[in-house]
Amino acid sequence: MHHFYTKNAYLCNMKTVLTVGVFDLLHLGHVELFRKARALGDRLVVAVQDGDWVAKYKPGARTVGSTEERAYMVKAIKYVDDIVIYRDVETIVDEVDFDIFAAGPDQRHAGFRKVFDWCRDHDKQVVILPRTEGISTTELKEHIKQL
């Protein structure tokens, strides 16, 4: 019984933070995002986008890491309590129990705008976290090409 109560986020009034992304070629900017997102609450859930769905939002994009590899890397970061795989951001918010949605300033396509409205209607907080300057998966790929 004790176990049940301490593990139950709702009964313990724990705040769960949700953040989403592709997280290919995991880098400092991603880990910094996890650190900042985790600090907003008590528990961080990271939704990692299914590779088959990445191209829908990043035209022409192909990930280096498979969905499973990217999820495995994200889960290994100490700030991350749990991971889920998602296809569309607007559906994952309905499937994960969370209190705070942490987004990057680059996450603003129509799906995210729907999510921000959904959060407002469902009493969830939205926090836009600043990006870490000077690093991204795209820049890393360019850098590697030039080596």
CA 131 to chain centre: 13
| CB 20, min distance to ligand CTP, A | 7
Q: Which residues are catalytic?
A: 56, 58
Residue that is written with structure tokens 């970061």 in the block: 77
Residue that is written with structure tokens 């593990």 in the block: 7
Name the residues that contact ligand CTP, by CB under 6 A: 21-23, 29-30, 33, 104, 106-107, 131-132, 135-138
User: Which positions ≥6 away from 38 have C-beta within 8 Å?
Assistant: 17, 44, 79, 80, 81
Which CB, 106 or 117, lies closer to ligand CTP? 106
Which CB, 126 or 135, lies closer to ligand CTP? 135
| CB 9, min distance to ligand CTP, A | 22
46 within 8 A of 34, measured Cβ to Cβ: yes
CA 10 to chain centre: 21
| CB 94, min distance to ligand CTP, A | 20
